[in-house]
Structure 1
Amino acid sequence: MTASTHIPSRAPFLLTLWRDSNVIQKAAALIGLALVLMALLAPLIAPYDPLAQSLISRLRPPLGFERYKDGFYLGTDELGRDVLSRSLHGLQLTLGLALAGATIGLLIGGTLGLFAGLRRGWAEDAIMAAVDLQIAVPFTLLALLILALFGSSLTVMICVLGIAGWEQYARIVRAEVRKITELPFIEAARASGGGQRYIALTHVLPNIVSPLVVQFTLSLSNIVILESTLSFLGLGVQPPTATLGSMVGYGRDYMPTAPWMVIAPAALIILVTFSVQILGDWLRDRADVRLRDR
C-alpha cells in the first residue's frame, strides 16, 4: 500500500497579491475597485437622469449647505441637473474611452514594435521613422486637427485617443525585443529550429510583459487627462453627454459661486489617475519574470 502524498493547496492568486501588498497598494486597489463598480452600476445607482433639467433647482449646493435641495446630494449645475448622477455617468464614459484608447494604442504600438524588433532592416527603419514623426508633432495639435476635420463623435474620440501614445509602446517593445533576442536562450531556440512566431510568442512576449504593464497604466492615466483636456476645451464628447473633463470645463465659469460643479468630477479624475499609477507599479513588480523569484 503506497502512502498518499498530500499537496497543500495554494491560496488564490488574488488573495496572494492582496497579502503581499502594502497599505498604499491596498488603498489604491480598493479605490480602483470602487471606481469600476461605480462606473458599471452608474445607470442603477444614479439617483436621477443625468440629462434631466430643472431650472428652478439650478445651482443648488450639496448636502449640508444652505439652500440644499433634498435628494441632490452633490448639488446641481447651471441647468439644474444632478451633479452626482452626471459624475457617475461621466466616470463610466471617461473610463470606457480611456480603456478603449489605451488598448488600441497597445495593439498598434506593441505589434509594430515587435515586428520592428524581430524583422530589422527596412521594416524597422520605416516603423521607427513613423515613431519619430509622431514624437516630433505635438499630439494635442494633431488631435485638434483630427477633431476639426472629422467632428467630435464618440467614434472619432476613440480613434484619437487610440493613437495617443502608440509610439511609446513601439519604442519600448522594439528596444526590449532587440535586447532579449541577443540572449543565449533565444539563440538556442533558433538553433533548435524555432521560427519567428514561436520565439515571439514563447520567449519574447513573456519577458516584455512588465514594461508593457507599466506603459499601459501610464497611457491609461494620460488618456484620462487628454480626454479631460479636450473636453475642457469643448472638443471632446459633445453636450449634453457628460464626461468628467467636460463637467470640469463647463463648471469653470461657476467656480466662484458654485465650486461643487468642478470639485466632484475633478476628484474622480484624481482618484482614477492615482489608483491606476499605483496599481501599475504593483502589477509591474508581480508580472516581471526577472523579479518573480527574488
Structure 2
Amino acid sequence: MTATTHIPSRVGVFGSFWRDANAVQKAAALIGVTLVLMAVLAQAIAPYDPLQQSLISRLRPPQGFERHKPGFLLGTDELGRDVLSRSLFGLQLTLGLALAGACLGLLIGGTLGLLAGLRRGWAEDVTMAAVDLQIAVPFTLLALLILALFGTSLTVMVCVLGIAGWEQYARIVRAEVRKITELPFIEAARASGGGQRYVALTHVLPNIVSPLVVQFTLSFSNIVILESTLSFLGLGVQPPTATLGTMVGYGRDYMPTAPWLVIAPAALIVLITFSVQILGDWLRDRADVRLRVR
C-alpha cells in the first residue's frame, strides 16, 4: 500500500477558518464581503447615475415615507441625486483610497523598519528620527498643508493617506526585528551561511506577519476615518465626485430636515471599521506562527 500525502485545498483551508470563527467573526466576514461586492459592482447595481440631478426631486425621503419618489430607495439629496447610487460609488472610492493608503503606509514603514532593525547604526538612527518627527507633528495639520500646497487630486490624496501611520509600521517592525534577530535560530541560520536577505525573507518576515496584520487593520480603519474627516472639512475629494466623507459633510446642514443624507454613508463607515477590526483580530490569530506551533 502506498502512502499518500493529503494537501488541503483552498476550499478546505477556508472551511477550517470558517468553522473556527465565532458568531461575531462570521458576521464581520459576511459584512466585509458584502461591502466589497457592493463596491466592486457599484456600476452594475447602482440604479441611477450618481451625478444625475433633478431639482424637482430634491430632498425626497426614503421609500416608505411620505413624499417619497418611487425608485429612490434611500431618497434623494439636496440636488435630487439618488442617495443609494451615490453611497455605492462613495463606498467604492472610499475603500479604494483606504486600501491604497494602507498599502503605501505598510510599504514605506515596513521597509524602513526592516532596514533599521537589520542594519542598525545610522540607518536605525535616521529612521527613528523621522518617526519621532512624524509623531511630534499633528498629522491633520500636515495633511492640511500638503493638500493646500498640492491640491486635492486622487494622487495627492493617496499620498497623504499613505504617509498617515507609516511611523507605526516602522516602530513595530523595528522592535519585532530587533527581538527576533537575537533569538538562537537566527544565529543558527547565519552560522549556516544564510545571508541577510535570506534571513529576512525566510525567518524574520514570517514572524512579524501577526503584528503587521493587526496594524494594517488599525491603519485601514484610521485611514477611512481620516479620509472622511478631510472630506467632511471640504479638503478631500472634491464634488461632484462622492465619497462617504463628502456625503456626510454636505449632508450635515440638512440633518434636522433630511437625516437620510447622513445616515446611509455614516452607517457604511461604521460597518467598514467594525468588520475590518474584527477580521484583523481573527487573521492575526490565524497568521501568527507562534500560535500555530503551540
User: Is 2:147 aligned against 1:147?
Assistant: yes
Deviations 1:134-191 (A, max 9, x none): 0000000000000000111111000000000000000000000000000000111111
- Larger displacement relative to structure 2 (170-179 or 5-14): 5-14
Unaligned runs of 5+ in 1: none
| Residue matched to 2:85 | 85
Report the Cα offset of residue 7 of structure 1: 4.9
* CA distance, structure 1, for counterparts of residue 4 and residue 118 of structure 2: 45
| Residue matched to 1:5 | 3
* CA distance, structure 1, for counterparts of residue 121 and residue 7 of structure 2: 50
Call closer, same or farther: CA 1:116–1:7 in 2, change over 3 Å: closer
2:102 corresponds to which letter in structure 1?
A
1:251 corresponds to which letter in structure 2?
G
| Residue matched to 1:156 | 156
* CA distance, structure 1, for counterparts of residue 118 and residue 160 of structure 2: 28
Report the Cα offset of residue 194 of structure 1: 1.1
| Residue matched to 2:40 | 40
Q: TM-score when scaled to structure 1? A: 0.98
User: Is 2:261 aligned against 1:267?
Assistant: no
| Residue matched to 2:114 | 114
Partner of 1:69: helix, strand, or coil? coil
Unaligned runs of 5+ in 2: none
2:2 corresponds to which letter in structure 1?
S
Deviations 1:194-214 (A, max 9, x none): 111110000000000000000
| Residue matched to 1:59 | 59
Instruction: Trace 1:240-251 onto structure 2 (pairs within 5 A).
Output: 240-251=240-251
Call closer, same or farther: CA 1:230–1:118 in 2, change over 3 Å: same
* CA distance, structure 2, for counterparts of residue 252 and residue 87 of structure 1: 15
* CA distance, structure 2, for counterparts of residue 8 and residue 211 of structure 1: 31
| Residue matched to 1:193 | 193
Paired residues, number = 292
Partner of 1:60: helix, strand, or coil? coil
| Residue matched to 2:221 | 221
Partner of 1:86: helix, strand, or coil? helix
| Residue matched to 1:178 | 178
| Residue matched to 2:286 | 286
Identity %: 85
Deviations 1:36-71 (A, max 9, x none): 000000000000000000000000000110001000
2:232 corresponds to which letter in structure 1?
F
| Aligned CA-pair RMSD | 0.9
2:62 corresponds to which letter in structure 1?
P
Report the Cα offset of residue 15 of structure 1: 1.0
* CA distance, structure 2, for counterparts of residue 8 and residue 132 of structure 1: 50
1:150 corresponds to which letter in structure 2?
F
2:158 corresponds to which letter in structure 1?
I
User: Is 2:208 aligned against 1:204?
Assistant: no
Report the Cα offset of residue 192 of structure 1: 1.1
